Amino acid sequence: MSWIDTHAHLYSDEFLTDQQEMVKRALDAGVTTLLLPNIDESSITAMLKLEAAYPKNCFAMMGLHPCYVKPDVENQLRLIKDWLIHRSFRAIGEIGLDFYWDKSLLDQQYLAFKEQLQLARQYKLPVSIHSREATRECINEVKKLQDGSLSGVFHCFSGTLEEAKEIIDLGFYLGIGGVVTFKKSGLDQIVANIDLEHLVLETDAPYLAPVPYRGKRNESAYIPLIGEKVADIKNLKIEEVAAITSSNARKLFKTL
């Protein structure tokens, strides 16, 4: 079986002591494609270094995470734009809105999200959307700009079934990670009612590790545990989940 982790911060400091071993565990587990979303200007060097070390397995995105926008967001966005001119990336991400941690810079969050959606249209790239406690607002912003050219994934999906269907109608995928293994998350009920053709798998490593590693550092080698849970929910063979979700990821992120 071959798996794709569509969202993993494998360049983060949590992996400084064992990054090579961690990547090897992922490859040994059949997780052969690892997509790396950017955070802000401080994460670019480490992300590109990891991509360069594993050019057949690691693929970088470029974007500004909503939790890391600053009052001078225009300067942050200028750097993102410069990188997109400088070289190619697999997607625009991680972008979006976050109403959980801090609402003091909402204007900057909205500006960054809108401008990066426009960049996705300009460069014909998919987007990886962060929407913590802001799923409805993110859907609304995508709707305003969806002219048929926008594509992407609502990473770590945590909305309602109605919102899930709305996202699918917009031509987007739902990113399913370790939360689906949590007993009281309710995500299992969403997955049960959504066709597998609309799902991609992710870890969001080092965060949100699946059971039995919940509360510990997450890593890409745990993707099969997420796939196994999805297979159980949908009464499918795990091989089918691997094949279909990986095919979905290849369609979305192109030429993986």
User: In degrees rounded to 5, what are phi and psi of residue 97?
Assistant: -135, 145
pLDDT given for residue 56 in this prediction: 97
Rounded Cα distance between 244 and 254, Å, is 15
**Tokens linked to 249:** 């990821």
Residues 168/199, Cβ–Cβ less than 8 Å: no
For the annotated binding site for a divalent metal cation, the residues are 7, 9, 94, 130, 155, 204
Amino acid type, 249: A
Rounded Cα distance between 111 and 104, Å, is 14
Q: What angle do CA 244, 249, 252 make, to 5 degrees?
A: 125
pLDDT given for residue 255 in this prediction: 63
pLDDT given for residue 256 in this prediction: 64
For the annotated binding site, the residues are 7, 9, 94, 130, 155, 204
pLDDT given for residue 186 in this prediction: 95
**Whole-structure pTM value:** 0.97
pLDDT given for residue 129 in this prediction: 98
**Tokens linked to 122:** 């300009």
Helix axes 161-169, 135-145, angle to 10 degrees: 20
**Tokens linked to 29:** 């587990």
**Closest-CA residue to 232 (of 196, 185, 184, 208):** 196
Which ranges of the chain have pLDDT less than 50? Answer: none
Sequence-ordered list of residues with C-beta below 8 angstroms from that of 75, at least 6 positions apart, any chain? none
Q: How far apart are the first and last CA of the chain?
A: 16
